Amino acid sequence: MNDKYFDMITLALKYGCEVREREPLSAHCTFRVGGDCDVFIEVSSAEALKELVCLAYEQNVRYFVLGNGSNVLFSDEGYEGVILHIGQRMNRISLLDGGRVYAEAGASLSRVCTFALENSLTGLEFAYGIPGYVGGAVFMNAGAYGGEIKDVFVSADIITEDGEQLTLDLSDMEMSYRYSKLMINGSIVTSAVFKLQSGDKAEIKAKMDELMGKRKAKQPIEYPSAGSTFKRPEGYYAGALIEQSGLRGYSVGGACVSEKHCGFVINKGGATARDIRTLIKDVQRIVQEKQGVSMEPEVRYIPVREGDSL
Ligand SMILES: Cc1cc2nc3c(=O)[nH]c(=O)nc-3n(C[C@H](O)[C@H](O)[C@H](O)COP(=O)(O)OP(=O)(O)OC[C@H]3O[C@@H](n4cnc5c(N)ncnc54)[C@H](O)[C@@H]3O)c2cc1C
């Protein structure tokens, strides 16, 4: 065991977390690329997380909070530090009064949507099929088909970088298109509350099925990817800009601009993180040259070391 992590690992085990060393990150992200991390902790509770974050702060241990890995690109060299995975050990969902739904950060959005359906609650149908967990969805203000998390968000319990536990409401979060304040302050979501409305179960189900059908028809979900690779530049659609730049099917190694939906970069088989990163940069450069539009990636690069590129 690397001495640097001895106290973190001991603390994690004390709180009943699962701990693995040299865990391949390719198993924990939907691009299916990335080398090993030093330590991978499956976090067992908000309390454990708070203690781990405090210790990491004190000992200057680098960490990264991971949900379902559906919007991250890890380096081929992996991650020097600790991955705090908020997933299956923190995934409870419950019904509060007034049509409010409580979900821990590790609950998948699809499960929360199904829970809402079972309780005849409408408002979250847009999120059905977004393959993220609640924490990642709040962090990203995930959205689709005219809806976004911000529309149903009431509050989130969070842990700040120095271990303070707070409840933030919508005004604290400053949510906008694929943005929340968590992106700059480093706070971690442990749970969230969403406000939904009473609805007709059959109509809710029909909407969810319709949107899932659209995803299957239009998106290359049969390949590993991180969904839409780029944010929508104001006044444009990323996929259309890429297509008009002649980049449909453009590839670098195993990474490829999807033929089915040009807004998706896919791993066609054997792609490295470097292939994907290079392809993203190529697309940005060519679209800028040909269309005069700058495109910002939505997917988040996680370097192996602070300050490194992939
Ligand atoms: C096929 C496909 C389709 C997609 N469709 C959509 C779509 O329609 N709309 C959309 O918005 N996105 C879409 N995405 C992207 C992705 O699913 C969303 O951004 C999702 O919200 C990410 O959640 P996650 O749990 O996977 O986060 P991760 O990828 O694990 O992490 C993303 C970021 O969130 C942070 N984070 C994760 N958990 C927490 C937490 N508990 N507290 C604080 N920060 C946290 C991470 O540190 C990281 O910076 C799609 C992806 C795929 C692969």
Q: How far away, in angstroms, is 1 Cα from ligand 1 center?
A: 31
CA-nearest residue, atom 10 of ligand 1: 142
Token representation of residue 185: 């302050």
Residue 53 near ligand 1, beta carbon < 6 Å: no
Residue 70 near ligand 1, beta carbon < 6 Å: yes
Catalytically annotated residue among 228, 245, 258, 277: 228
Residue 106 near ligand 1, beta carbon < 6 Å: no
Catalytically annotated residue among 178, 191, 225, 258: 178
Q: How far away, in angstroms, is 305 Cα from ligand 1 center?
A: 21
Instruction: Catalogue all structural domains in the chain, each as residue range(s) with its CATH number.
Output: 3-85 (3.30.43.10), 93-205 (3.30.465.10), 220-302 (3.90.78.10)
Q: In sequence order, what are the residues at sequence separation of 6 or more whose Cβ sits closer than 8 angstroms to the Cβ of residue 233?
A: 241, 293, 294, 295, 296
User: What pLDDT, on a 0 to 100 scale, did the predictor assign at position 146?
Assistant: 96
Instruction: Give 185-206 pLDDT, tens digit per residue.
Output: 999 999 999 999 999 999 999 9
Confidence tier at 220 by pLDDT (50, 70, 90): very high
Instruction: Give 26-51 pLDDT, tens digit per residue.
Output: 999 999 999 999 999 999 999 999 99
Do 12 and 52 touch, CB atoms closer than 8 A? yes
Residue 231 near ligand 1, beta carbon < 6 Å: no
Say whether pTM exceeds 0.75.
Answer: yes
CA-nearest residue, atom 37 of ligand 1: 136
Residue 75 near ligand 1, beta carbon < 6 Å: no
Ligand 1 closest atom vs CA 221: 1
Residue 131 near ligand 1, beta carbon < 6 Å: yes
User: What pLDDT, on a 0 to 100 scale, did the predictor assign at position 274?
Assistant: 97
Ligand 1 closest atom vs CA 66: 30
Instruction: Give 100-112 pLDDT, tens digit per residue.
Output: 999 999 999 999 9
CA-nearest residue, atom 33 of ligand 1: 136
Q: How far away, in angstroms, is 85 Cα from ligand 1 center?
A: 13
171 has a pLDDT exceeding 80: yes
Q: How far away, in angstroms, is 142 Cα from ligand 1 center?
A: 7
Residue 142 near ligand 1, beta carbon < 6 Å: yes
Confidence tier at 1 by pLDDT (50, 70, 90): low
Confidence tier at 3 by pLDDT (50, 70, 90): confident
Instruction: Give 61-86 pLDDT, tens digit per residue.
Output: 999 999 999 999 999 999 999 999 99
Catalytically annotated residue among 23, 42, 148, 298: 298
Residue 136 near ligand 1, beta carbon < 6 Å: yes
Residue 110 near ligand 1, beta carbon < 6 Å: no
Confidence tier at 308 by pLDDT (50, 70, 90): confident
Q: How far away, in angstroms, is 132 Cα from ligand 1 center?
A: 5
Residue 57 to residue 52: CA distance in whole angstroms:
9
User: What pLDDT, on a 0 to 100 scale, did the predictor assign at position 307?
Assistant: 83
CA-nearest residue, atom 38 of ligand 1: 136
Confidence tier at 310 by pLDDT (50, 70, 90): low
